[in-house]
Structure 1
Amino acid sequence: MKTIKHSSVWAAGALVLATAGGAQAQTAGSWLVRAGATQISPQVGSGDLTAPSFTGTQVDVRADTQLAGGVTYMLTDHWAVDVPLALPFRHDIVGAGAIAGVGKIGEVKVLPMTVFAQYRFLEAHARVRPYVGLGVTYARFFKERGTAALTGLTGGSPARPTTLSAESRFGLTPQVGVSVVLNDQWSLDLAYYKTFVKTRNTLSTGQTIDVKLNPNVVALGVVYRF
């Protein structure tokens, strides 16, 4: 899967903006509310579709970007609780391995729900504050849909198309990021995190396929401090 290509540009912009504005205190009791965009790029490790199927029948999952944001509460000057928020992501499922040429075989929506514990470095008034976090994610999959290609591959028909379902799962999510002050109330936030999660897809034919998703996630947001 492709990882996001513009993170280096965002990071460079953040460093330039670090010279602007006054000191914004991210002190104990502060609420930080952000809005921006997030890209999820699954780094897929696919198992084989169970019989009856061609040997090596696998899948890949495409990236998606959505409007996103989040809320952070500073427990102390250094420790915080962060909850990302986003619209549901829609990921195309495509053939891989023995069926790499068939194109899109399905799609699924996912709403990742994560709670992070964060540690922010440097002082509360620093213009640039790197941070690390560790979170737990519940990846809720819904509105799964198969295509005519999937139906053809699995012996279905237009009258009885093959459907699919994906199991929602928990995963561990480490995070790194940086907060850059723009002025007393506003800042810019750039974060990268990775969720270690896998799921099992079940077809209406009874066949199953296990998939490690392990997505790379890049989030950029503008933050307002209360």
Structure 2
Amino acid sequence: MKVSKNVVKMLVAAGILAAANGAMAQAQGQFTVSVGANMLKPDVTSGAISAPALPNSQGDVSKDTQPVAVINYGLTDNISIESAIGTPYKHKIYGAGAITGTGQLGTVQALPAIALVQYRFFSPDAMIRPYIGLGVTYAMFQKERGSFAMTALTNPGAGTPTTFSIDNKWTYSGQLGLQINVTPKWFANVSYIKTKLSTDVHFSTGQFQHMKLDPDSYIVSVGYKF
């Protein structure tokens, strides 16, 4: 049976296109990098500053948004590992409980390091790929600065300003995310990360305070597949 040259050419072209699409769809061994913004919002449950502070002297911590780069590597078509790098998050500390309305008590920079293992649903060439993740986080705090209001609350009448430090902690995080494949190489990504984090604040006056920060992270980014 004779087959026209045009049909043969069409079949060859279709085969090449299918192979190319398969290569682009392959996620195993693939690196992706996305760049965007992350809003880090502490979900604070505050303990009280120890005596001689006013009873029920609690604290609250503001949110902050910073640029972030997310790096991902496919172990298989559905399992990947992810980490993120960015600039420190700058948080303001305010009075709560009995000292609500006292104003800003201090500032601190947080620099969390995170590593996640993810399961991605559907095939790599699907337009929409939801995923879940679980991993470890190291929460590091730096550049803690107290204000005059903090000194007035913890060491009234003293000439020495109160300083403080916050313990760095290892903890765990869970993630929900959605990747939208715009082209075979470019994608948009949104994710939500919940971190369980409790730590302790130590004041130069000898007082201390336990804080549950349990931050929520909201990441929006645009990425490229290598």
Fold in common (TM above 0.5): yes
The match for 2:66 is 66
The match for 1:132 is 132
The match for 1:155 is 155
SS in 2 for 1:195: strand
Task: Say which one has the larger Rg.
Answer: 2
The match for 1:177 is 177
The 2-side partners of 1:137 and 1:178 are apart by 21
State the structure with bigger RCO (CA 8 A, min sep 6), 1 or 2. 1
Letter of the 1:222 partner, please give it.
Answer: V
SS in 1 for 2:25: coil
Aligned-pair CA distance for 1:155? 2.0
Contact between 1:42 and 1:61, CA under 8 Å: does it hold in 2?
A: yes
TM-score, length-scaled by structure 2? 0.88
TM-score, length-scaled by structure 1? 0.88
The 2-side partners of 1:110 and 1:65 are apart by 12
The 2-side partners of 1:43 and 1:27 are apart by 35
- Residues 109-148 of structure 1 mapped to structure 2, 5 A cutoff: 109-148=109-148
Contact between 1:178 and 1:189, CA under 8 Å: does it hold in 2?
A: yes
SS in 2 for 1:183: coil
Q: How many residues align?
A: 205
The match for 1:105 is 105
Letter of the 1:122 partner, please give it.
Answer: F
The match for 2:205 is 205
The 1-side partners of 2:198 and 2:65 are apart by 20
The 1-side partners of 2:47 and 2:217 are apart by 23
Give me the identity figure in percent: 40
Aligned-pair CA distance for 1:32? 0.5
The match for 1:42 is 42
Residues 157 and 65 (structure 1), Cα distance of their counterparts in 2 relative to 1, 3 Å cut: farther
The match for 2:193 is 193
The 2-side partners of 1:109 and 1:33 are apart by 25
Contact between 2:165 and 2:203, CA under 8 Å: does it hold in 1?
A: yes
Residues 35 and 157 (structure 1), Cα distance of their counterparts in 2 relative to 1, 3 Å cut: farther
The 2-side partners of 1:198 and 1:153 are apart by 23
Consecutive unaligned residues of structure 2, counting only runs of 5 or more, are: 1-20
